[in-house]
Structure 1
Amino acid sequence: MSTTEVHPNGVDVTQLVRTVEAIKNDPSLAAFRFRASNTWLGGGRSRTSIDGFYGAGDEDSSRTTPFTLEGDEPPVLLGENTAPNAVEAILHALASCLAVGVAYNAAAQGIELRGLAFDLEGELDLHGFLGLSDDVRPGYSDIRVTCRVDSDAPAEKIDELCAYAQRTSPVLDILRNPVNVIVTRA
């Protein structure tokens, strides 16, 4: 493989195929455990640190410094507006996951993308979050995603690509299906 090899959509398709084959040959390599630690900073602010993870049969040590994500609230929700709030971070996570799914699968199918963008909106009623109603859920009731793909591929191929990315998106699955979450106090 040449060091000048072109990677469609910035994706190393050769490595993608190797990863898929490795998991087919050893299904235990598919098990991953991601971790995060959060510290409250006062008011509506907090900071999450994301460092290593377990995956592909080993503890990952490729990150030289942890990633940090800040959270806050807008002033109308008593925050200082220094960072997105948690439900806005969910929109980011969903868009990021869908973007990876579309871009990687487009590359694997030989579809060149010139552009890929998502617009997201989530509907939330504070009655649930504030404990004012047991009939209103505290989280989003609806999320709308608009995907814009700039490519010469036929529209039906793009529709298939987007549908596949939705079927295989971990974050979309997390949002659409109940996840067992256990909260303990140390």
Structure 2
Amino acid sequence: MGTSVTVRNGIDVDQLLGTIKAIESDPGLGGFTFKATSTWTEGTHSVGRIQEFTHAGVQDTSRSEGFTLEADEPPVLLGNNAGPNAVELLLQALGFCYATGYVANAAALGLEITSLQIEVEGDLDAGKFLGLAGPRAGFTAIRAHARVSSPNATREQLEDLCRHVQDTSPVRDSLAAPVPVETTLQVV
């Protein structure tokens, strides 16, 4: 007789709970180093490549192909719209992170999600980026709005879930708290 797997919101709940227990037992298993490479092509257009990452000190080999992303600027910022710009990708990263947080945490709580949409917008003054006066080079405010439907969750459960997702989101934490960024240069 086969073992029954509990899948909720597309998440294997048994595997999720097993991962949580494993990291709880050995916190070193929670360590990851992710990597992205950007190569400039022309103008404001660049191509990004994401493939390898390290988990618990070991190179992951699960991605045989990797992912390619294109980034550009809109014409008003000297680009050709060959892709979203970097700050739009940052907003999208927050939306993706929130979505994962919602469905995985809901699954662990026994809550079904039938629809979920995360809308993220941010305000930015390009002056500083262009070498002019400006409040800062980055966003001055970011707003996220989630629309979620669940047949078996109360409004209070979904509000608790929303707070939990914000408190545990790696992308939100990286945006909201200072993160040391070290940049080096190799002249070739």
TM-score of the two chains, using structure 2 as the length reference: 0.94
Contact 2:112 2:150 in 1 (8 A): yes
Taking the aligned partners of 1:11 and 1:104, their CA distance within structure 2 comes to 6
Q: Which segments of 5 or more consecutive residues in structure 2 lack a partner in the other structure?
A: none
Aligned to 1:111: 111
Aligned to 1:140: 139
CA deviation profile, 1:23-74 (whole Å, cap 9, x unmatched): 1111111111011111001100001111111014421000011211110000
Rate the CA distance shift 1:87–1:65 in 2: closer, same or farther, 3 A.
same
Q: Which amino acid aligns with 2:146?
A: C
Percent identity reads 48
Taking the aligned partners of 1:128 and 1:57, their CA distance within structure 2 comes to 38
Q: Which segments of 5 or more consecutive residues in structure 1 lack a partner in the other structure?
A: none
The structure where strand makes up a greater share of residues is 2
Aligned to 1:150: 149
Aligned to 1:168: 168
Rate the CA distance shift 1:2–1:140 in 2: closer, same or farther, 3 A.
farther
Taking the aligned partners of 1:126 and 1:29, their CA distance within structure 2 comes to 40
Taking the aligned partners of 1:38 and 1:55, their CA distance within structure 2 comes to 22
Q: Which amino acid aligns with 1:28?
A: G
Taking the aligned partners of 2:140 and 2:6, their CA distance within structure 1 comes to 42
Which shows bigger deviation, 49-58 or 39-48?
49-58
Aligned to 1:48: 48
| Matched residue count | 185
Residue 2 (structure 1) shift? 4.6
Rate the CA distance shift 1:107–1:95 in 2: closer, same or farther, 3 A.
same
Taking the aligned partners of 1:58 and 1:83, their CA distance within structure 2 comes to 32
Taking the aligned partners of 2:82 and 2:98, their CA distance within structure 1 comes to 26
Alignment of 1:21-36 (within 5 A): 21-36=21-36
Alignment of 1:94-109 (within 5 A): 94-109=94-109
**4+ residue segments displaced more than 3 Å:** 1-6
Q: Which amino acid aligns with 2:142?
A: I
2:126 counterpart of 1:129? no
CA deviation profile, 1:72-98 (whole Å, cap 9, x unmatched): 000010000010000000111000000
Q: Which amino acid aligns with 1:138?
A: A
CA RMSD of aligned residues (A): 1.4
Rate the CA distance shift 1:126–1:48 in 2: closer, same or farther, 3 A.
same
Taking the aligned partners of 2:79 and 2:107, their CA distance within structure 1 comes to 41
